[in-house]
A and B are shown apart, each in its own frame.
Chain A
Amino acid sequence: MLKDLGTPARGLVRAAGVPREVRRRRTILVLIILACFTLIVLDARRSAGSPVEPLRTGAAAVFGPLESTASSARQPVDNLRDRFAETDRLKADNEKLQAENDRLKQELNTTDYARNRAGELDGLLRIAPKFTMTPARVIGVGALQSFNHTVTIDAGSADGVRADMTVVNGSGLVGRVVRTTQSTSTVLLIGDRNSTVGGRLNSTLALGFVSGRGELAGTLDYKLVDLKAKPRVGDRIVTWGSSGNAPYVPGVPIGVVTSVSATAGALGTTATIKPYVDPTRIDTVGVVTGPPARAPRTQLKPSTTAGSAR
């Protein structure tokens, strides 16, 4: 570094002189690194109420509408992507067929579940829970560079969405709301490594836990509570629900078992689950904002579920 001729801001350097300028930029770097570490330390203690939270709220308030607007530019981008490869065109065709299938599949899954519950619990025909939902669109997707499986949706506290609400779409469970602002919310997908959902095998009603693997396809791990119980390939898994319906409501289809293996280094078995929801193609979702219109067990309406499931 002889004369610093390569400095982009030539005027500045001439005025300041080399050593002072170097000192200054080092001071700036050190200050910035210290600021980053301060931020990380402040924000790492989530339980104590992070001071960064107002910043997030503010950022969401500014960028939510921007993202909403920008994602309307998605149509041409989508078209571009479809033009890139023939497989994508086939995928689009496939998607259309799948959409038709989705309704039928979900009905099949819930009937199965309902039938088992009915036999198991009280011999009554269980009515599949019909919850109040708020529809929303995905307007931002977390990049895998961040190892995060989160999306932003365009419904917020103004629409009655609060943290710890279940998010579903036509094919099954998407995730849960972790943070909301006035007009947007952040959804943690079930494929994230931070996510654990209580899941119930449709065939035996055995309980277990579904946790994300952090993979692109959203593949999930399933561990049963009962170490002796064994899931079978092809078994379907639905949520068993949390108390007060938060964060997960019962009876939402999660996925299907694709392979079963012994848990490495522990007792019991781990099943690999292919989720019904393809995490790369989530668009319209529903946030469960209210309990079922009536408690499922108080009334018997054989005509609603049993009839429509045919």
Chain B
Amino acid sequence: MIALRVGLAALLLMLAVTIQTSVLSNIAVAGVTCDLVLIVVIALALSRGPEWGAISGFVGGLLLDVVPPADHTAGRWALALAIAGYVAGLIRRETSAGPVGPLGVALTVVFGSGLSLLIYSATGALLHDPSVEWSQFGVRIGIAAGYDVVGAIVVIPLVMWLMSRFTAARERRRVTP
């Protein structure tokens, strides 16, 4: 069951990367696309906890780093999404025992997109990447966060439902004997 879940997560991440790079870039708002990968990572973190958030964030970010047309130093999105995923998992743990409400999810997504963009830009600044512009940073973070919430409304319930199907079966089996 674990293998199945890992496979499902990997499939979701690959799908997210493909759609984000080739389809969503056509409906970009002022050039900023919806961070589908980030949303999937947050959904995984919310349903499975911080470890899953960190690992799936690393994998998803690494894909974003190496899949064309990426041309920046590899590891930057990986770091940003791993930390965002971990923090999203922590939020899930600390808030409540019940399922996270829609408002909580939206705030987590806003926070995650801001945090990941900040880490990504900060590593770029450390590496003296000339393409990082702090003057446009605020605008882009705003657009990205808003767009991500819109995407999250569709994607997060879907991913969490998928994950919970597999989880439920596993726990049912654990409880019955």
Binding site for B on A (CB under 8 A): 1, 4-11, 24-25, 28-29, 32-33, 35-40, 42-44, 50, 52, 55-56, 58-60, 63-64, 66-68, 70-71, 73-74, 77-78, 80-81, 139-152, 178-179, 181, 184-188, 192-194, 214, 216, 280
Contact = CB atoms under 8 A, between A and B. Distances in A.
Interface string B73-87: 111111100110010
A140 B21 CA distance: 5
Given A60-B68, A142-B69, A25 B26 contact: no
A70 B22 contact: yes
A133 to B, nearest CB: 20
Given A6-B96, A214-B131, A145 B78 contact: no
Contact of A10 (B23, B65, B171): B171
Contacts of A145: 32-33, 35, 117, 120, 140, 144
Interface of B: 14, 17-23, 25-28, 30-33, 35, 46-51, 54-55, 57-58, 62-63, 65-79, 82-83, 86, 92-98, 117, 120-121, 123-124, 127, 129-133, 136, 140, 144, 167, 170-171, 174
Nearest to B63: A59
Given A39-B62, A184-B68, A214-B133, 14 more contacts: A6-B98, A9-B48, A9-B49, A11-B170, A29-B50, A33-B82, A39-B65, A40-B74, A67-B21, A74-B26, A140-B69, A142-B25, A152-B69, A193-B133
Contacts of B132: 147
Contacts of A151: 69
Nearest to B18: A66
A36 B58 contact: yes
Nearest to A6: B97
B75 A186 contact: no
Interface of A is mostly: helix
B93 A81 contact: no
Nearest to A24: B51
29 contacts: A1-B94, A6-B98, A11-B170, A28-B54, A32-B54, A56-B74, A64-B68, A66-B14, A66-B22, A67-B68, A68-B22, A70-B18, A70-B19, A140-B25, A141-B25, A143-B28, A144-B33, A145-B32, A145-B35, A145-B140, A147-B132, A148-B71, A151-B69, A152-B22, A181-B68, A186-B70, A188-B71, A214-B131, A216-B31
